[in-house]
Amino acid sequence: MLVELYVKVGRMRILSSPEVIESADLIAQRIVDTYLASDKTFLELREMTNNGSIDLFRGFSETCRAEFESLRAQF
């Protein structure tokens, strides 16, 4: 699974802006860090959901949307 993640990030390096690549690299690092972290209790997961810290893809999706809008504006 991690190999697939790095393959996808590698593809992004060819097609995407530096901002998207940087965001993708951050997500990949967070995923690896999550695998290495201790297991969370249900209460800890609920708190992470409530404070937004569990949303790993928010920054990445916002960066991708900005790039998409920028490309769409060019045409």
pLDDT in tens, the chain (75 residues): 788 988 999 999 999 999 999 999 999 998 888 888 888 899 998 898 899 888 888 999 999 999 999 989 987
Position 23 scores a pLDDT of: 95
Q: Where are the domains of the chain?
A: 2-73
Task: Return the pLDDT at 10.
Answer: 92
In 3D, which of 25, 23, 51, 48 has the Cα closest to residue 37? 48
The whole-angstrom separation of Cα 61 and Cα 75 is: 22
Cβ-contact 12, 5 below 8 angstroms: no
pTM for the predicted model, two decimal places:
0.77
What pLDDT does residue 40 have? 87
